[in-house]
């Protein structure tokens, strides 16, 4: 289970218990939570390697947002170790391009980059607010996120900066067909960071992948719509592996 940018593994505490019979492995991304951030971890593939080192030999990988990008890289890096992929409001390319319109403007990430230097805490607060914008449960979801993040150390500023670079620069669209394991992509209909239009693009780029849009959810459907999200995840995991396997 891989969290998103600026988050930590405590974000999964607010999820309903849909994991009976399965072991959870909650991994902090490099420089987030309790995870160290050595200088060598300077690109997406090394972040994926670090997560693979912390993960069991074979598992279903769940990645939220930036964590989804890392999970995709892990599946490409070590396909035999990934039994399935759950991409939670994730995308193979986060910024807009002429051939990829369902994405955020690059200027949005540039603003966060500038804010990190001037006001790191305030920048994280604005990012949290953006993640819940549009959700029917925005206020409660934001409160939950803040409570959970406070349980771990603040992220390393250098890791935050590199994470924004990954969100801006990485593009795994061309490699999606190389991923052969079962995949479930979950989107929020009101997501301001990863528009729901990514779903139809993924269906073209990754034949066989399942997609689902959680209505009236923003960027954190596992917190704003926990029951529906948990049910979708549970049925997918059941189809990938047997309990207690």
DSSP 108-159: HHHHHHHHHHH-HHHHHHHHHHHHHTT-TTHHHHHHHHHHHHTTSPPPPHHH
Q: Is 222 annotated as a binding residue?
A: no
Determine which one of 28, 32, 35, 191 is catalytic.
191
Q: Is 114 annotated as a binding residue?
A: no
Q: Is 65 annotated as a binding residue?
A: yes
Is residue 65 part of the annotated active site? The answer reads yes
Q: Is 48 annotated as a binding residue?
A: no
Determine which one of 35, 65, 135, 224 is catalytic.
65
Contacts of 221 (CB under 8 A, 6+ apart): 88, 89, 186, 187, 188, 214, 228, 229
Is residue 219 part of the annotated active site? The answer reads yes
CA distance 239 to 245: 12
Q: Is 94 annotated as a binding residue?
A: no
In sequence order, the β-bridge partners of residue 62 are 86
CA distance 210 to 88: 12
Q: Is 116 annotated as a binding residue?
A: no
CA distance 117 to 34: 22
- Closest C-alpha among 94, 113, 103, 114 to residue 169: 94
Determine which one of 3, 32, 190, 219 is catalytic.
219
Q: Is 34 annotated as a binding residue?
A: no
Q: Is 128 annotated as a binding residue?
A: yes
Q: Is 127 annotated as a binding residue?
A: yes
Residues in binding site for substrate: 5, 65-66, 127-131, 219
Residues that are catalytic: 65, 191, 219
Residues in binding site: 5, 65-66, 127-131, 219
């Amino acid at each position: 289970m891989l969290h998103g940018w600026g988050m930590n593994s405590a974000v999964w505490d607010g999820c309903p218990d849909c994991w009976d019979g399965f072991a959870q492995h909650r991994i902090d991304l490099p420089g987030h939570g309790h995870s160290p951030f050595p200088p060598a971890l300077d690109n997406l593939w090394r972040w994926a390697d670090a997560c693979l080192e912390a993960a069991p030999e074979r598992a279903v990988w769940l990645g939220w947002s930036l964590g989804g990008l890392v999970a995709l890289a892990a599946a490409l890096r070590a396909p035999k170790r990934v039994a399935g992929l759950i991409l939670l409001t994730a995308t193979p390319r986060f910024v807009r391009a002429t051939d990829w319109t369902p994405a955020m403007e690059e200027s949005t990430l540039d603003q966060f980059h500038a804010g990190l230097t001037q006001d790191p805490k305030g920048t994280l607060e604005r990012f949290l607010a953006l993640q819940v914008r549009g959700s029917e449960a925005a206020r409660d979801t934001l409160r939950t996120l803040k409570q959970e993040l406070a349980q771990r150390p603040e992220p390393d500023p250098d890791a935050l900066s590199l994470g924004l670079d990954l969100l801006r620069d990485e593009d795994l669209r061309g490699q999606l067909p190389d991923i052969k394991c079962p995949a479930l992509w979950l989107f929020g209909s009101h997501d301001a960071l990863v528009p729901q239009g990514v779903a139809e693009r993924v269906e073209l780029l990754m034949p066989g992948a399942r997609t689902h849009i959680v209505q009236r959810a923003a960027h954190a459907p596992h917190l704003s719509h926990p029951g529906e999200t948990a049910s979708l995840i549970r049925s997918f995991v059941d189809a990938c592996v047997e309990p207690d396997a």
